[in-house]
Structure 1
Amino acid sequence: MTILVAYVARPEGQAALDKGIEIATRRNERLLIVNAGPGGGQDEAIVNGYEVERVEERLAKLPVQAEFKQFVRGNSTIDEIIGLVESQQVSVLVIGLRKRTAVGKLLLGSMAQEILMTAPCPVLAVKAS
């Protein structure tokens, strides 16, 4: 089984990564960290090379199998994550949450809400401290 973490280089992404590492280590399950977005130069969610290296170095020190994947294939972040959940035998999907105003949710929607409603596995939503 696999613990899947949806990662962004923000405090909520770090909180999700920390929790995913904790769960995978405790359960002795494979850990898959994913950063995904459609690309096109305006995607804040896509992490840079330095951040990828930093995460990969951390994963290399873990006592469980762990891997970082980044997808910029034109698909939405939600489609990439749900596709991985369906193809990777995911036992838990870990996502980070950030506080948004009601207007922000109305205008931008909530990726976390859509993932919570569509993922075919348990989803753990964590907040940054």
Structure 2
Amino acid sequence: MATASKPVFQTLLVAHDFSLSSHRALGHAVDVASRTGATLHLMYVDRTAEGVLFEGGKAPSDDELQDRFEERCRTSLDPYDLSPTDGRVTCHAVRGVSPAPLLVEKAEEIEADLIVTGTEGRRGAQRLIVGSVAEEVLRTAPCPVLTVRQRKTDGASDSTGEASGSDVEQIVAPVDFSDLTEIALGHVTQLAPLYDVPVKLMHVVENPALPSVYEVKSSKVQARAAEQQAEEELRSLGEPLAEKGVSVSYVVHRGETTRTVVEATGHRNTLTVMGTKGLSGLRRVMLGSVTEAVIRESNGPILAVRSSAQVDKSPQANE
């Protein structure tokens, strides 16, 4: 009798407002579901009389709103050979003033393991779910959040017309050696075999800001020592991944943390996995506000893990 860890993601909640970024997010969500067997919950929050599900300025009833959302979802899911009537797909259309709390409330209600959302959506009255709402969700979500940003190269149409699934070619995990590191790497350990891609663990040693009266040589020596120690720690953290047969590389950069992380993780084909807060004082190196900067600027998907989002490591018996 073999044992296997419980899949890290079993229930996905997808914020869907039919914008380009939410279409990209849906593609990644469907891809994750196909790899893990997870169920999909698509959610639309309407807060204006000018939303995409209104016709002629007339507000539909709650039942009509739900029916129209399901019909639009049918079009969105059709390229993936999925439908709102499939047993693994559920659609939720709700009304409310603040989308983020409603999204978080729904995630708690269905015990979601992952929230998937775009990071740029409609503007003005039609801006329904994505954008800064995604950052608010990230700060309060009971589970990890996968964000997907609309790229500058995306067209102007609201409908992709074709499946836009995952094209992940590598996983990058920025590490700051805080308590969140173990939690984030727990997700990396489970995701890397699913995608069958190499993993890069990276750390940034910030340039010391020393007064000019100090010798430059001294600061350089300290930085080199810090880099060597960081690489040793990275290799230690990567051992469990390597033991699973995952190709792991280690990179230590020196520079300004936010800019360096964005440059290293901003590629379209890179899935970035990182925590949402780091250490404080002189040892605060990587996470926290850096995560939000990466989410705003990176072209690839970002899996952000809060301290409360633990990985279930309990084994389950499989016949």
- State the structure with more CA Rg: 2
Give the one of 143, 151, 157 matched to 1:121. Answer: 143
Give the one of 82, 85, 88 matched to 1:65. Answer: 88
Q: Which amino acid aligns with 1:83?
A: E
Structure 1 unaligned regions, length at least 5: 100-108
In the TM superposition, 1:78-97 aligns within 5 A as 78-97=100-119
Greater relative contact order (CA < 8 Å, ≥ 6 in sequence): 1
Identity of aligned residues (%): 24
State the TM-score, normalizing by the size of structure 2: 0.33
Q: Which runs of 4+ in 1 moved over 4 A?
A: 61-64
**Other structure's SS at 1:59 match:** coil
State the TM-score, normalizing by the size of structure 1: 0.75
Cα distance per residue 1:36-67 (max 9 Å; x no partner): 1333x14x4x5463624413645329987112
* Residues 1:61 and 1:76: Cα distance change in structure 2 (over 3 Å): closer
In the TM superposition, 1:43-62 aligns within 5 A as 44=51, 46-47=52-53, 49=68, 51-55=72-76, 57=78, 59-60=82-83
User: How far apart, CA to CA, are the structure 2 residues paired with 1:91 and 1:23?
Assistant: 12
Structure 2 unaligned regions, length at least 5: 1-9, 55-67, 122-130, 152-319
User: How far apart, CA to CA, are the structure 2 residues paired with 1:62 and 1:120?
Assistant: 27
Per the alignment, residue 103 of structure 1 pairs with: none
User: How far apart, CA to CA, are the structure 2 residues paired with 1:47 and 1:61?
Assistant: 16
Q: Does the 8 Å contact 1:59/1:67 carry over to 2?
A: no
Q: Which amino acid aligns with 2:82?
A: L
Number of equivalenced pairs: 116
Q: Does the 8 Å contact 1:55/1:68 carry over to 2?
A: no
**Other structure's SS at 1:90 match:** coil
